[in-house]
Structure 1
Amino acid sequence: MGRWFAALLALAALSACTVRAADGDGKQGSPVRIELPGSSPPATPKDDKPSSAPTEKETEPAPQVLWSRGDTGRDVRELQARLRQVAWLFDGPTGSYDELTERAVEGFQGKRGLPKTGETDTVTWQRLLRMTREPGKWDVYLMGGQQADAPDPRCLTGRVLCISKSSRTLRWMIDGRTVTTVEVRFGSQYTPTREGVFSVYWKSRHHVSTLYDSPMPYAMFFSGGQAVHYSSDFAAQGYAGASHGCVNVRDEAAIADLFTQVRNGDKVVVHW
C-alpha cells in the first residue's frame, strides 16, 4: 500500500496535480488536490466594474464670458441692438460696452433667473438669441458709426459734397481729398432723395420748410426743395426715421462747420 501510494503521488506530480483517494473498499472517492512547491493558487476572475462609484459629481465648466464692460466692436453693437428689441436698452447701439449696457444685461439676466453679473456669457447670449430676431445693418448702426464707402469717381475733382446712399455717409471733398465725413439720412420710399450730379444753388442758415412746417437749419439746397441740412429728429431717432427727401445730418457741430465752407456752385453727387 505504501509503495502504491508513493507511485501515485509521483504520477500526480507529472500530470494534473489532482488525484482521487481510494476509500477502504478500493473505490475512488472525492478528488484530492495536492499543492506542489512553487505552484501559484488559481487565479480568480477580475471584476470589470469599478470597486466604488465616484464620491463627487464632476462640476460643469462655468459659462464663457463673451463681452463685458470696456469691450467695443461690431459684436457689441449686435448685443445692444438685440437688447433694444426686448426693451432692456433704449440708447445706441454705440458699439461700446458701457454702464448702460452692463445694467441692461444684468436686468435681462435677473429676469430669467441667471446670475446677475452684467457680463454677457454664453448662456446669457443663447437666451437672448432665442428671444430676438437677427438685426439688420441699420438696426446695428441705428445711431451711426458705420464706415463710409469709397468716394464715387465723380467726386474726385473740385469741391464736392459726395453723398453715398449705400453707406449713408457724406464726404466733403476738395480735389480728391476728404475734409469731413458725417452720417446722413435720406427720404423714405414715398419721398426719395434724388440721385445724380447737382450743385448747391442756395444756402439758408435758419430755414423752415413751408411745405412741412419743420425747421431745416444750415440748409444747402441742391435739387428743387431737397437740401442737405441738420435734423434734430435724426439726432434723436437715428435711422428709425426718414426725411421727406432731404439729406439729414445728425451732427449739428459738424454741419455748422460745413455750412461755412460750402459755397454756392459747389458740386453735389448723390450715388449708390
Structure 2
Amino acid sequence: MKRSSVIRRAVLAVAAVTLAAGCVPEAAGSGGTRTAPPATPSTAPAPSSAAPTGDDKPSSPAPSATTEAPGPKARILMDDGDESARVRELQARLRQLGYFDRAPTGFYGTMTGNAVKAFQKKRELPRTGSVDEVTWQKLVAMTREPTADELRPATTNKLDAPDPRCMTGRVMCISKESRTLAWMIDGKVVSSFDVRFGSENTPTREGEFKVEWKARDWTSTIYHTPMPYAMFFSRGQAVHYSSDFAARGYNGASHGCVNVRDKGKLAVLFDQVKVGDKVVVHW
C-alpha cells in the first residue's frame, strides 16, 4: 500500500472518533466563538415551575385539621323579650353561678341579657347577650338542673334601679323587668313586693298614673273574682291581692291588674297609700 493512502486513512479515523464523541463548546476565554447546540424536540415533562393550564390546574387543597370552614349562623334559642319556662331555667342556672342576682321571672329582659353577656365574656364567647346553642350547652355543663325552689323561690324579687319618675313624692314604683312593686317616699324605698302582670292578650298598661280610688273589699264586675285591697290607677286596672298568685306564682297571669301575693304586707300598704298618690309602671 502506498504511503499517502495510509496517511489519509489515519486522518479519516481520527475524524470519525471526534464526531462520535460530540463537540464540546469552547470554554470562555479561549478566544473562539461559542456555538450553542441545535435545539431538539423533547418528550420530557415541563418543569414543575410552569403554570398549569386548563384541566392541569391543581384542585384546592383540602382544609387542614386546624382550618375551620365558615359555619352557618348560630341559631338563637333565647333572646330579649322572650317569656317561657326555659328562660326561667336559664335565669336559675345563671343564678347558681352568681350571674343573676334575683329570683327567676321567666322574662328575658335587660338584666337577663347583661347576665348572659357576663357569662359569655368569662367563657370567651361572642358577647351577644343572646343565648345560642354553644352558650346554652356551656351553661348546662357547668350547672345542675334547678330545683322547684330555685325556679320559684319564696323570697322577694330583688328591686332594680328605680325609674326617674319614682324619685320624688309618694309613688308605687312598679317594674315589669324585676316584677316588683316598691312603695317609695321622696326616693326612699319603704316596702317592696313581688307582683304579677297581665298576659299578652290583657297587658298591664305602662306609664305614669295616679291612684283614682280604693276598695278594701272588691269583686271584679267583669270576671267576678275577689280583688281585696284594690287601688285603681288606670281604667279598671288596679294593684290588689291575688289568691291565685299566692297559690300558683308566675304560672298564671292577671287580666291586666298588678297582682300582689303577700296579703299581710299589702294590707299595711293599702292603709298608707292615698288617693292621688303616683303610680309608675315601667320596664
Superposition TM-score, scaled by structure 1 size:
0.50
- State the match for 2:131 in structure 1: none
Which residue type is aligned with residue 75 of structure 1? Q
CA drift at 1:150: 1.1
Aligned to 2:245: 234
Question: Displacement, 1:246?
Answer: 0.2
CA contact (8 A) 1:148 1:167 kept: yes
1:182 and 2:193 aligned:
yes
Shift of 1:145: 3.0
Distance 2:257 2:193 in 1: 15
Q: Verify the 8 A CA contact 1:160 1:269 in the aligned structure 2.
A: yes
1:61-80 to 2 correspondences below 5 Å? 74-75=95-96
Q: Distance in 2 between matches of 1:180 and 1:240?
A: 25
TM-aligned CA deviation for residue 221 of structure 1 = 0.0
Q: How does 1:80-99 map to 2 (within 5 A)?
A: none
Q: 1:262 aligns with which of 255, 261, 273?
A: 273
Could you say which residue in structure 2 is the equivalent of 1:149?
160
Q: Pick from 224, 234, 252 the counterpart of residue 223 of structure 1.
A: 234
Alignment partners' CA distance in 2, 1:155 and 1:145 = 20
Amino acid paired to 1:268: V
- Give identity over the alignment, percent: 63
Contact 1:144 1:238 in 2 (8 A): no
Q: CA deviation at 1:139?
A: 7.4
Distance apart, 1:142 and its partner CA: 5.8
- AA aligned to 2:212 is Y
Alpha-carbon deviations, 1:206-238, whole Å to 9, x = none? 000010000000000000010000000100101
Q: Which of residues 185, 202, 211 in structure 2 aligns to 1:191?
A: 202
Which residue identity is paired with 1:163? I
CA contact (8 A) 2:174 2:282 kept: yes
Q: 1:139 to 1:209 in 2, by over 3 A?
A: farther
Q: Distance in 1 between matches of 2:172 and 2:165?
A: 11
Q: Is the 8 A contact 2:171 2:278 kept in 1?
A: yes
Query: 1:143 Cα shift?
Result: 4.5
Partner residue in 1 for 2:170: 159
The residue matched to 1:239 in structure 2 has which SS? Answer: helix
> Of 249, 252, 255, which residue of structure 1 is paired with 2:263?
252
The alignment partner of 2:96 has SS state of helix
Unaligned runs of 5+ residues in structure 1 are: 1-72, 82-124
- TM-superposed deviation, 1:244: 0.4
CA contact 2:199–2:255 (8 Å) conserved in 1: yes
Distance 1:216 1:232 in 2: 9
Distance change (3 Å), C-alpha of 1:144 and 1:225: farther
Aligned to 2:38: none
> Match of 1:114?
none
Report the Cα distance in structure 1 between the residues aligned to 2:266 and 2:237, rounded to whole angstroms.
16
Task: Give the AA of the match of 2:281.
Answer: V
CA contact (8 A) 1:143 1:239 kept: no
Superposed CA deviations along residues 214-269 of structure 1, whole A, max 9, x for unmatched, are 00000000000100000001001011110000000000011000000000000000
Deviations 1:92-116 (A, max 9, x none): xxxxxxxxxxxxxxxxxxxxxxxxx
Q: Equivalents in 1 of 2:155, 2:280: separation in Å?
A: 21
Instruction: Call closer, same or farther: CA 1:142–1:213 in 2, change over 3 Å.
Output: farther
1:171 aligns with 182
SS at match of 1:258: helix
Task: State the AA in 2 paired with 1:269.
Answer: V
| Residues 165-224 of structure 1: CA deviation (Å, up to 9, x unaligned) | 000000000011110011100000000000000000100000000100000000000000
Which structure features the higher share of strand residues? 1
